[in-house]
């Protein structure tokens, strides 16, 4: 028998992933049916403290799929992705890059809000999902990719990028560059809009927003080429 130490991490991940994938019924062929099924998901513990599953939204034949990390506080309350402060900033950036909202499908690698109570008050503080939680949720993202089949897949932030492109992927080094991947004809990573909200001052925020819009303009250009093809 092959000793465990001789099995590569990659092959373990692939085997785990294949097992996890069996959870999503392949007969579910629409985003609506997948969203309904995901409402009942208890494949990791994140459902316990969240209000609801926040599944992806957008046209099921969208050319562009944007993938973030997880729903935030407001998304958790209303049940829609990217409706909080980061989502509003994303909408502004998409407008500046001339990407129409109806061209995109918006989702996250994790579908439940992970949070911890603030030391004081009732605020819920975002907590980064663990690898095991991202892994448990991956079949839902794979099912969205299977249905939408985007021409351009955009990873927003390092959690999404490392989940989809490997754990050594660096958004800072590789942002805005097309990455070779089997996930979509064009795959690009950029920052998560929430990182712009954390900029230390107005000047830094302006520069970070400009860089984000520039990355999205590259996405817009690929989208124009895909439409023309």
Beta carbon nearer to ligand SF4, 99 or 136: 136
For ligand SF4, the closer of residues 107 and 158 by Cβ is 107
Contact indicator for 68, 164 with CB cutoff of 8 Å: no
Residue 130 DSSP class: P
Strands 115-117 and 124-126: antiparallel
Say whether residue 46 binds ligand SF4 (CB under 6 A).
Answer: yes
Residue from 31, 44, 66, 97 touching ligand SF4 (CB under 6 A): that is 44
We find the least distance from the C-beta atom of residue 140 to ligand SF4, in angstroms, to be 6
Residue 46, φ and ψ in degrees, nearest 5:
-65, -25
Stretch that binds ligand SF4, among 7-15, 37-45, 86-94, 171-179 (CB under 6 A): 37-45
With CB under 6 A as the contact rule, the residue among 24, 31, 34, 38 that binds ligand SF4 is 38
CA proximity to 166, closest of 155, 151, 152: 155
Nearer to ligand SF4, 49 or 96 (CB): 49
Under the criterion CB under 6 A, does residue 186 sit at the interface with ligand SF4? no
Q: Count the residues of the shown chain that bind ligand SF4, applying the rule CB under 6 A.
A: 15
User: Does an H or E element contain 117, and which?
Assistant: strand 115-117
Confirm or reject binding of residue 86 to ligand SF4 (CB under 6 A).
no
Task: For the segment 121-140, give every residue that binds ligand SF4 (CB under 6 A).
Answer: 133, 136-137, 140
CB of 134 to ligand SF4, least distance (A): 9
Pick the closer one to ligand SF4 by CB: 108 or 190. 108
Q: Find the binder of ligand SF4 among 24, 35, 53, 219 (CB under 6 A).
A: 53
Helical H segments across 44-180, by residue range: 73-78, 85-96, 131-148, 158-165, 171-174
Q: In what order do the strands lie in the sheet with 186-190?
A: 104-108, 64-68, 152-156, 186-190
Asked whether the beta carbons of 53 and 41 are under 8 A apart, the reply is yes
Q: Find the length of the chain.
A: 229
Measure the CA–CA gap between 161 and 192, rounded to whole angstroms.
10
Site for ligand SF4 in 95-114 (CB under 6 A): 110-112
State which residue, 134 or 161, has the beta carbon closest to ligand SF4: 134
CB 41 to ligand SF4: min, Å: 3
Q: How far apart are CA 42 and CA 32, in angstroms?
A: 19
Q: Which residues bind ligand SF4 (CB under 6 A)?
A: 38, 41-44, 46-47, 53, 110-112, 133, 136-137, 140
């Amino acid at each position: 028998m092959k000793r465990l130490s001789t099995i590569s991490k990659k092959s373990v991940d692939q085997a785990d992933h294949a097992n996890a994938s069996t959870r999503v019924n392949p007969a579910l062929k629409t985003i609506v049916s997948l969203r309904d099924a995901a409402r009942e998901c208890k494949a990791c513990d994140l459902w316990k403290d969240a209000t609801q599953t926040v599944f992806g939204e957008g046209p099921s034949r969208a050319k562009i799929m944007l993938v973030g990390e997880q729903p935030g506080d407001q998304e958790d309350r209303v049940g829609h992705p990217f409706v909080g402060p980061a989502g509003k900033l994303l909408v502004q950036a998409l407008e500046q890059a001339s990407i129409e909202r109806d061209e995109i499908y918006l989702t996250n690698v994790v579908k439940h809000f992970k949070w911890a109570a603030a030391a004081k008050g009732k605020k819920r503080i975002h907590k980064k999902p663990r690898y095991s939680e991202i892994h448990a949720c991956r079949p839902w993202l794979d099912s969205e990719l299977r249905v939408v089949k985007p021409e351009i897949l955009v990873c927003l932030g390092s959690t999404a990028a490392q989940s989809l492109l490997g754990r050594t992927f660096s958004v800072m080094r590789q942002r805005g560059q097309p990455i070779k991947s089997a996930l979509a004809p064009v795959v690009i990573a950029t920052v998560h809009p929430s990182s712009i909200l954390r900029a230390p001052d107005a000047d830094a925020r302006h520069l970070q927003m400009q860089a984000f819009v520039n990355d999205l303009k590259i996405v817009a250009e690929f989208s124009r080429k895909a439409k023309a093809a």
